Amino acid sequence: MQGWWRASLVAAVLAGLASCQTMIAPAPRTVALAIEDVTVIDPESRRVLVHRSVYVDGGRIVAVAPARARKDYAARRTVDGGGRYLIPGLLDMHSHLFLPDPGAPTLNLMLANGVTGIREMSGDCWEVAGARSGCIGEFKALQAKIKAGEIPGPDLVSIASPMVMGPASAQVPKGVDSFIVPRTPEEARRLARYLKSRGADLIKTHDSLTLPVFAALGDEAGRLGFETAGHVPFGVAVTALARHNFRSIEHARDLLYDCSRYGAEFRRSAGAFAEGKAAKRPEEGTRLARTVNEFDPDLCRSTLTALAGNGTFYVPTHVTREMDARAADAAYRSDATRKYVPRPRDAEWDRDLDRTAKSSADMARLYQAFFRHGLKITGLAHQAGVPIMAGTDANDTMIVPGFSLHRELRLLAEAGLAPMEILRAATTVPAAYLRREADLGGISPGKEADLLLLGRNPLDDIGNSASIVAVMANGRLYDRRALDALLVEAERLARSARPAP
């Protein structure tokens, strides 16, 4: 009896549990969007997950689940991810909207190319010197409209101050307070406080700053809870930057100097120019040739190891060095994406290309060598653990917004980075730089749903980053038709653009 009783009790309890479970099994939660049965490439974990469904609601990822499992979610809209690849939205960590120019062509081009976030590297004007446009209020207003989904575009994830230059390269206009071109540490500290009060996320530095001014600017920025980034001052080795809250080196240039035996001499003589103790900077041809020819692998290794230890980020913008190297190359100049560039800017680009191309054959060879050498140093920097970020200098000569980021990714492949590491340079590493790992840089629950659906696998060939089927940004889905419409509109705006009066 006892055995029977026990067995039936167990059976009853089990039945109870089963019916209980049936009773409490929740109805599938309704979410805004499901991307069904896709291959998820998550650069943050470096994992590839096949046959997953990604559920999105309120602009965030709510779940990444096996596609064929029981469905916990029902979606109002579904996208077929079969045979496709999902990666996080790309970040261009060095770009320029050049407000008050109309932002629209740039914003459209960025979004149509899957760029869902940009670090704006000239996001304020010198209002204190009388500027009334291109000021930070315009950038913030634009950012708010983009975030609210009122206009399509990438999020402005970081907005830099105007470039802070030293007296060797800039003059203070008459009647303007001299601290905007700081000569002393005291002026630099005042300037840092002023720029903080403007609401900039970082102070952009120019190479013409002297060490004492650069140090005071960065130290005060750190005290105020922000930072500097940009061009490395002539007289300052890259390994000394982190001490002064300098967080990212822009452009494939400074790192190359400090990887050569010529570097110390260059820093001394260019530093003397910044301090007003020398009339000229070192001559360009000499600078390029000696930097390449006097490359020192041991010195380079110790420089890069120190840089990695400091946690200084590197944004090589190889596409800008490519412009120097290929200014005379007809195929390069006739790039089809120039049709998206507003006519006045496109004409300016031609003039700049002509100027660069007109230099001697020797200079052209040096530009090419410097460009290739830059790729090599980026490969070494990556191996040494320096965090590399993708950036383009968008809207500078021949840098067509959006398209140029995919070009930069291909150049990072030429530098020797594996496809997953290149994806990280445009997603996970920028998220770490921005200290926004909770929101950006991967595909997992809780992150912002900035996503790219690709037709081909970017891990097979990073060029496939451009095989964009759909983009999700700021809670909105843009399918291929919507993306093409953005491009058509950008082309129309480019064609009708007139020079500023």
By the criterion CB under 5 A, which residues form the site for Zn ion?
121, 393
In angstroms, give the least distance from the CB of 397 to Zn ion.
11
DSSP β-bridge partners for residue 250: 315
In angstroms, give the least distance from the CB of 45 to Zn ion.
32
Nearer to Zn ion, 84 or 247 (CB): 247
CA distances (Å), origin 190, targets 180, 182, 186, 239: 9, 9, 6, 26
Residue whose structure tokens are 């494939």: 252
Which contiguous run of DSSP H or E holds residue 228? Answer: strand 227-230
In angstroms, give the least distance from the CB of 101 to Zn ion.
15
Two tokens, residue 198: 């403007």
In angstroms, give the least distance from the CB of 252 to Zn ion.
13
Nearer to Zn ion, 317 or 467 (CB): 317
Give residue number: closest CB to Zn ion: 393
Between CA 430 and CA 95 the distance in angstroms is 14
Between CA 441 and CA 317 the distance in angstroms is 20
> Pairing state of beta strands 47-57 and 29-42?
antiparallel
Residue 43's Cβ-side half-sphere holds a number of Cα atoms within 13 Å equal to 28
Classify residue 89 by its DSSP letter: P
Strands (E) across 206-328 are located at 227-230, 246-250, 313-315
In angstroms, give the least distance from the CB of 94 to Zn ion.
6
Nearer to Zn ion, 53 or 158 (CB): 158
> SS3 of 85, please?
strand
In angstroms, give the least distance from the CB of 489 to Zn ion.
25
Two tokens, residue 494: 């480019």
Nearer to Zn ion, 53 or 397 (CB): 397
Nearer to Zn ion, 220 or 393 (CB): 393
Among candidate residues 194, 195, 189, the one with its CA nearest the CA of residue 214: 189
Q: How many residues does the chain have?
A: 501
In angstroms, give the least distance from the CB of 319 to Zn ion.
11
In angstroms, give the least distance from the CB of 206 to Zn ion.
11
C-alpha angle 426/92/114, rounded to 5°?
Answer: 80
Nearer to Zn ion, 100 or 445 (CB): 100
> Is the Cβ–Cβ distance between 96 and 478 less than 8 Å?
no
Nearer to Zn ion, 204 or 281 (CB): 204
Two tokens, residue 34: 């499901």
Nearer to Zn ion, 54 or 121 (CB): 121
